[in-house]
Structures are given as C-alpha cells and as structure tokens.
Structure 1
Amino acid sequence: MDTRNAETPTTFNKEMIAKVWDTPAPQKARVTAWRILRNRLPICDNLRKRNIPMVDEEIMCNMCFHQIETTNHLFLLCPKTGVVWDEIQRWLGVSAARPHCAVSHLDFFAHLGRGKKSQKFLTALWICIIWLLWKRRNESRFEGKAWDIKNTIYDWGCESKNVELEQNFQAA
C-alpha cells in the first residue's frame, strides 16, 4: 500500500485517472482533479507529512475549523463542502450516501449516468466542482474571503455551461 496515499483505495485506479483526461473540463480543472486523485495537492496534512513547518491553527480546515485539512475532508467530508455536493445531488435527482475517498467518489458520481456520454458529462461536472471547491478554499485561506456556498453553487452551474456539459447529459 502506498502510505502517501493512505486515504484512497489500496489499488491505484488508473481507469479513473484516464477518465479525468478524457473530458471537456478545463485543463486546469483536470490537473487539479488528477492531483486530488493522487493525493498530491498542497493540503495542510500533505504539507505536514513533508515536514513543512505549520502552526497548529494552519492545519485545520479553514472552512469548518473542526478537522485537520485532508484531501478527503476538504472535498468530501467537510460540512461546508458537503452542502455543495448535497445541492448537486438534489439537482441530479439522486439521494445516496457519498463515498469518503476521492477515487470512490468520482467513480460513484460518474456511474450515476447510464451511458458513456452521460458518464463523461458527470465526470467533467465532478472535475469542475472539485476545481471550484479548491479555488474557494484558496480564496478563503490566502485572500481572507468568506466561504460563500451560494456563489460556489452558482459558479459550478456557470462552469458546467462554459464547457457545454449540460447538453451532453442524458438523464435516464
């Protein structure tokens, strides 16, 4: 098992990584998603594991301030980002528990679609959402901007239209 990637499944899922590159999502969003799936973003927990000195307050999630900032906490388990995923699932008409690791979450999310075209759309949508959550995290952490769930939800809708995703989704 790769100890640097302890929060993800024990077998690295190359198929999921390939799906990231085969979407119409913006390149910078795909790179961010790729780094998340490999647990290679400069998240506080990853920085601490690389012996980068951090003050105790800096390692906490700057969205909820209740947990250490890990990849899975920030993007999937944080109550603040959870609201975004809940809203998206409501938009898609899905009511299901979310997996707790990024690779499994992408797999779950992509397979909400029944055909290849809708799975590609959902993969691109997941990538855009992850990217926007990362942007919001950085704005909050480095620019002192307040976490605004409404703007994040609005932005993911705009982003999905920018990459012409909605027209590709065929709900079954």
Structure 2
Amino acid sequence: MTQEQRTPLEIFAFNYIWKSGVPSKVSALSWQLLLDRIPTRDNLWRRAVIRDDDAVCPLCVGEVETARHLFLHCCVSAEIWYAVIRWLGVTVALPANVLMSYGMLVGCGNNKKRKKGLSIIWLAYVWAIWKARNNRVFNNSEVEVGAVLEDIQRFSWKWYLNTISFGPCLLYEWVWNPWECMQR
C-alpha cells in the first residue's frame, strides 16, 4: 500500500507509532499489527504453517485467532481493553478494528502531550497482550486481566518517562492519574 492509498488515520497512526519513544520492537510489532502481518494463528494457517484445527485463539479457545480477534474481540482482550478504559476514566466503545482502537484512544487526548501519552498506552496495550498471548502459547500460563493491566501501566509509565525532559512522574502517580502526568 502506497502513501497515497492510506487514510489520514493510517498516516497519523504510522507516524506516531514510529515517533513515540517506545522500544523499536514494540513499534515494529504495532506496525505489523496495523498491516495485519503479525503471526497470528490465522495468518500461520493461511501460510500452511499450522493445521486449521490449531488456529483457535489461545486466550479464549473459542474462535479463530485473527489480529482483530486477539487484540479486540476475544473475551479476554475485551476485558483488558475495558480495564484500560476504566483506568483512564474515558468512555470509548470497543472498536470494530485495531486501527480504530488506536484512533479512538489517541483521539481522547486534547493536546500533543496527551496524544503522545495515549499513543504510548495503546502501544503498551498491544505489547502486553502479545506477551500474555505468547506466555499462554509457549508456557501454558493463565492470562489474568489485572496482571496484564499492571503490565500496561508499568510499560507505558517507563516509556512515557523516556519522552519527557522534566517533571518526572512516579509509578504510583501514573497508576493513580496518568492524565496529570501527561500534563507535566
């Protein structure tokens, strides 16, 4: 897809992801996610890497694991999404696709600092779900919503601190009120 074929939201998301200050592996995963190029079980099945009966989501074991399902519509991921939304104190519905989830969350920011902070939180959401999914697949670990939310809070706090030049925010402040930290 060329630059001219992308929507304004896609251009905005791709630019923000690469300039967000998060580790490059997180930006790369998120970029691949938006392009539907991550190795979900559906993508692996389409490439004949796994059998079709192995394409089930490891988190809910209820549907085929597509990128949209894994990051939004899986009952476990949806619970995590709503936990993040409650933590932030915003009202955002469960979006139809992954790009919309980015746009809706970042759109809650009313200035550049907050948009950057919300972008980092979305990237932490993607990273934490991917890590939880892989931990489930490779270590057969249970996915606990509270633990994944704590990972999102911790990752986003560390990455956000890398982007600010003054006014550090302690982890408990970030967990208590990320909006205040994003104003510093």
TM over 0.5: yes
Matching residue within 70, 82, 85 for 2:81 = 85
SS for the counterpart of 1:65 is coil
Checking the alignment, whether the CA contact within 8 Å between 2:92 and 2:105 is kept in structure 1 is: no
Residue pairs, 1:22-171, within 5 angstroms: 22-56=19-53, 58-164=54-160, 166=178, 169-170=182-183
> Per the alignment, do residues 63 and 53 of structure 1 end up closer, same or farther by CA in structure 2, a change over 3 Å counting?
closer
Checking the alignment, whether the CA contact within 8 Å between 2:125 and 2:152 is kept in structure 1 is: yes
1:17 partnered with 2:14: yes
Count, aligned residues = 162
CA distance in 2, matches of 1:96, 1:134: 22
**Per-residue CA distance 1:91-140 (angstroms, 9 max, x = gap):** 11112312121111111111110111111110111001100100000010
SS for the counterpart of 2:160 is coil
Q: Which of 1 and 2 has greater Rg?
A: 2
CA distance in 1, matches of 2:141, 2:111: 39
The alpha carbon displacement at 1:26 in A equals: 2.1
CA distance in 1, matches of 2:160, 2:123: 14
Checking the alignment, whether the CA contact within 8 Å between 1:118 and 1:168 is kept in structure 2 is: no
Checking the alignment, whether the CA contact within 8 Å between 2:78 and 2:94 is kept in structure 1 is: no
Identical pairs, percent: 28
The alpha carbon displacement at 1:157 in A equals: 1.3
Checking the alignment, whether the CA contact within 8 Å between 1:140 and 1:147 is kept in structure 2 is: yes
Opposite residue 89 of structure 1, the aligned amino acid is I
SS for the counterpart of 1:24 is coil
Say what the alpha-carbon RMSD is for the aligned residues: 2.0
Give the TM-score of the pair, scaled to structure 1: 0.86
The alpha carbon displacement at 1:59 in A equals: 0.6
Larger RCO (CA under 8 A, 6+ residues apart): 1
**Per-residue CA distance 1:71-90 (angstroms, 9 max, x = gap):** 00000111101111111111
* Structure 2 alignment gaps of length 5 or more: 162-177
Checking the alignment, whether the CA contact within 8 Å between 2:20 and 2:120 is kept in structure 1 is: yes
The alpha carbon displacement at 1:168 in A equals: 5.1
